Structure 1
Amino acid sequence: MRRTLRDNGLGIAFGLLFLAMLVGQAFAGQAQYNEQQTATGAEPVSIGRYVTSSPFAVDVVENWQSEYLQFFLYIFGTVWLVQRGSSESKEVDKTGVESDEEQMVGVHARPDSPPWARAGDWRTAVYARSLGLVMGAIFLVSWLAQSVAGQAAYNAEQLGNREDPISWVGYLGAADFWSRTLQNWQSEMLAVGSMAVLAIYLRQRGSPESKPVGAAHGDTSATG
């Protein structure tokens, strides 16, 4: 058990943090929602009813979709784009998908390589892009979920204001949908860009996200 926890500490720690923060968001969101309910003369709702409501769902998935968009763009973007001096970048002369030998696929695979990496056919082509494809798929599913939950939440507010609800297609063109979407996207792009640039000059000892403390600012793709 101790070895399992050690070997999987990063995933377990962030999984527990995710659950703790999701629970915290649920209770904080319920409190805020009930304040609005009381202010308008409506009945407050229980935590169970709140976590199954469209306001809670849209608040959760709108963050998920932006995070997975960040990973999707970063995974594919760093194939071709570089940042000299950053530990987040490949070396500047290694842009592109690299050779089969460098990637250890097909006849260049090792005995312990994944089976699809050794296949050398369409399976290798799919597996070679599987991380980005899955991140992109999760982004699209989360964005779709955001649009559905967002429409439900928006229409509930419209009906509460004695205004007409709108269709799902109509909501896709609504300011509410794009305001929710773009406020998350811009923050993710800022975070990724600043991480790539700050990693040129700043260090975190022992972290693979940082260069070694004594590495020159111009060293690229080095990790500590």
Structure 2
Amino acid sequence: MTRFLRENGLSLFFGTILVMALAGQAVAGLAEFNDQQLVAGLQPLTMRDYLLSSDFAVDVAENWQSEFLQFLLYIYATVWLLQRGSSESKELDRRGHESDQDQLVGPHATDRSPAWARAGGWRLAIYSRSLSIMMGSIFLLSWLAQSIAGRASYNAQQLSQYSDPVSWLGYVSSADFWSRTLQNWQSEFLAVAAMAVFAIYLRQRGSPESKPVGAPHDSTGLEG
């Protein structure tokens, strides 16, 4: 058990604080929602009903889709785009998909390489892009979930104000949908840009996200 915890500490840590953050969001969100219900003269919801509501779903989905979009763009952009001096960038002479030898695929694969890395054809083509495919798929599913839950929440508000509900296409072209979406996107893009630039000049000893403390500012692609 000790070995398992040590070797999986990063995923266990973030998985734990994810559950804690979701629980905190549910408690705070329910309190806010029920305050609004009481002001409007409506019945408050139980925790179970709130967790199954479109209001909770849209709040979760709109954050998830922006996070996975951030990683999708970051993964793909760092194949081709470089940042001199940043540990978040590849070395300046390694732009692009790199050679089969560098990537340990096909005849250059080792005995411990994944089976699809040793294969050729469509299996290697898919596996070579599997990370961005997965991130892109989760982003699209989260964005779809946001649009469906957001529409339900928006239409509930419309009906409470004796206004007409909107279709799904009407909602995804509405200001409400894009306001929710873009306020999350801009924060993710800011965070990535800040990390890429700060990593040129600032250090965190022992972190693979930082260069070694004594590395020159213009060293690119080094990990500490």
Q: Same fold (TM over 0.5)?
A: yes
Q: Where in structure 1 do 4 or more consecutive aligned residues deviate above 3 Å?
A: none
Alignment RMSD (CA, Å): 0.5
SS at match of 2:89: coil
* Counterpart AA for 2:108: H
The CA deviation at 1:93 is 1.5
Question: What is the CA–CA distance in structure 1 between the aligned matches of 2:147 and 2:182, rounded to whole Å?
Answer: 13
Please give the residue correspondences for 1:71-86 in structure 2 after superposition, counting only pairs within 5 Å: 71-86=71-86
User: Is 2:175 aligned against 1:175?
Assistant: yes
Partner of 1:95: 95
Number of equivalences? 224
Question: What is the CA–CA distance in structure 1 between the aligned matches of 2:117 and 2:103, rounded to whole Å?
Answer: 9
The CA deviation at 1:123 is 0.5
Please give the residue correspondences for 1:31-180 in structure 2 after superposition, counting only pairs within 5 Å: 31-180=31-180
Please give the residue correspondences for 1:25-36 in structure 2 after superposition, counting only pairs within 5 Å: 25-36=25-36
Query: Which blocks of at least 5 consecutive residues in structure 2 are unaligned?
Result: none
Question: What is the CA–CA distance in structure 1 between the aligned matches of 2:101 and 2:120, rounded to whole Å?
Answer: 12
Question: What is the CA–CA distance in structure 2 between the aligned matches of 1:90 and 1:114, rounded to whole Å?
Answer: 23
Q: Is the 8 A contact 1:107 1:120 kept in 2?
A: no
Q: Provide the TM-score with structure 2 as the length reference.
A: 0.99
The CA deviation at 1:120 is 1.9
Question: What is the CA–CA distance in structure 2 between the aligned matches of 1:45 and 1:127, rounded to whole Å?
Answer: 46
Q: Provide the TM-score with structure 1 as the length reference.
A: 0.99
SS at match of 1:212: coil
SS at match of 1:71: helix
User: % of aligned pairs identical?
Assistant: 64
Question: What is the CA–CA distance in structure 2 between the aligned matches of 1:56 and 1:98, rounded to whole Å?
Answer: 43
The CA deviation at 1:86 is 0.3
Question: What is the CA–CA distance in structure 1 between the aligned matches of 2:166 and 2:69, rounded to whole Å?
Answer: 27
Q: Deviations over 1:17-74 (max 9, x none)?
A: 1001001100000001011111111111111110100000000000000000000000
Question: What is the CA–CA distance in structure 2 between the aligned matches of 1:209 and 1:93, rounded to whole Å?
Answer: 20
SS at match of 1:28: helix
